[in-house]
Structure 1
């Protein structure tokens, strides 16, 4: 479902005489349907960078990244938008939404974007919000006013509101209490049982051990710099 082939990434610092900093070299791994793979490695090893490359937020300097039948590297903006709409979900660390849009609509938006009727989309969204213990009194308010933990749960609800074939999870249990952490882990297990391919970053080791099938140590893809 997701295949990373000999991928490399170099950042160029244009304000520092175009200094080039290689961060990832020859990264390769594959994630199959129903598989949960954790990206691990020391801080600064490139875990978040690699995840953003898979999602198409960062350009890739070399190699290929397959999501389904599409190579993200070099794909058009339209193709990437189509993949995000129909194939690849993403739960980032921070909720990014338009201010004043109600929480119910924020969560339902991925369903509305593919033509789901509003009543059905809202019903699915509400069930997820309830499962994630977001009080009904907050559903018509913008999540921009919520606490960090509440925003994270809204973010998770939005990511899991659709049965994506693949999903990226960046610290999905961060900022959560034990009860909501358990709910999120159950959502991940449910998605796996439906065949979703998952790539995640989990600093919560017990959560990682609970839901992940394999680990990919991104430190192994760190370029060897000349001394």
Structure 2
């Protein structure tokens, strides 16, 4: 479902005379349906960079990234938008929302974009928020006022609202207490059981051991 071949990336340092900084070369991995692959490696090795290239936030320099039948490295902006709505979910570390939009609507929004009726989308959002222990009295408020842990749980609810065939998870259990950590890991296990291909970054070794089928050390892709 996710296939990366000979992927490379450099950053241009404009404040240093346009010098090129190679950060990745020859990256290759595959994530099959129903599998969770964890990215590991020291800080700065390129884990987040690789995830952002798969999501289409960073342009690759070379190689290809297949998500389903779409090569993200050559996709048009319209194709990337369609991919993110239908096929590729992404749970980042930080929640970015429009101020004053109620939490229930923030979580339901991905389903509304797919054409679900508002009552169906909000019912799914309510189920996830309740499961992730966000008090109902907060659902009508904007999550921009919430604590970091609450915002992360809203972000997770939004990311799991639609049954994406492929998912990217960037530290989904960071800053969570034990109860909510278990809920998130259960959501990941359920996504795997329905066949989702998951690529993730988990600094929590116990979480990695529970949900990851394989680990890939991105240090192997760092230019020498």
What TM-score, normalized by structure 2, do the two folds share?
1.00
Q: Distance in 2 between matches of 1:77 and 1:108?
A: 23
Q: Distance in 2 between matches of 1:160 and 1:123?
A: 13
Q: Give the structure 2 partner of residue 151 of structure 1.
A: 151
Structural mapping, 1:141-180, within 5 Å: 141-180=141-180
Q: Distance in 1 between matches of 2:162 and 2:24?
A: 31
Q: Which ranges of structure 2 fall in alignment gaps of 5 or more residues?
A: none
Q: Give the structure 1 partner of residue 86 of structure 2.
A: 86
Measure how far apart 1:14 and its partner are: 1.3
Q: Report the secondary structure of 2:141's partner residue.
A: coil
Whether 1:190 and 2:171 are equivalent positions in the alignment is no
Whether 1:52 and 2:52 are equivalent positions in the alignment is yes
Q: Which ranges of structure 1 fall in alignment gaps of 5 or more residues?
A: none
Q: Report the secondary structure of 2:156's partner residue.
A: helix
Measure how far apart 1:23 and its partner are: 0.4
Q: Which runs of 4+ in 1 moved over 4 A?
A: none
Q: Report the secondary structure of 1:73's partner residue.
A: helix
Q: Give the structure 1 partner of residue 216 of structure 2.
A: 216
Q: Report the secondary structure of 1:182's partner residue.
A: helix
Q: Distance in 2 between matches of 1:191 and 1:163?
A: 7
Aligned length, in residue pairs: 224
Q: Give the structure 2 partner of residue 128 of structure 1.
A: 128
Measure how far apart 1:15 and its partner are: 1.8
Measure how far apart 1:100 and its partner are: 0.6
Measure how far apart 1:87 and its partner are: 0.1
The RMSD of aligned alpha carbons is: 0.4
Q: Distance in 1 between matches of 2:133 and 2:98?
A: 22
Q: Which digits, 9 at most, give the CA deviation of each residue in 1:36-81, with x for residues without a partner?
A: 0000001100000000000000000000000000000021000000
Q: Distance in 2 between matches of 1:130 and 1:204?
A: 24
Measure how far apart 1:16 and its partner are: 1.1
Measure how far apart 1:162 and its partner are: 0.6
Q: Give the structure 2 partner of residue 15 of structure 1.
A: 15
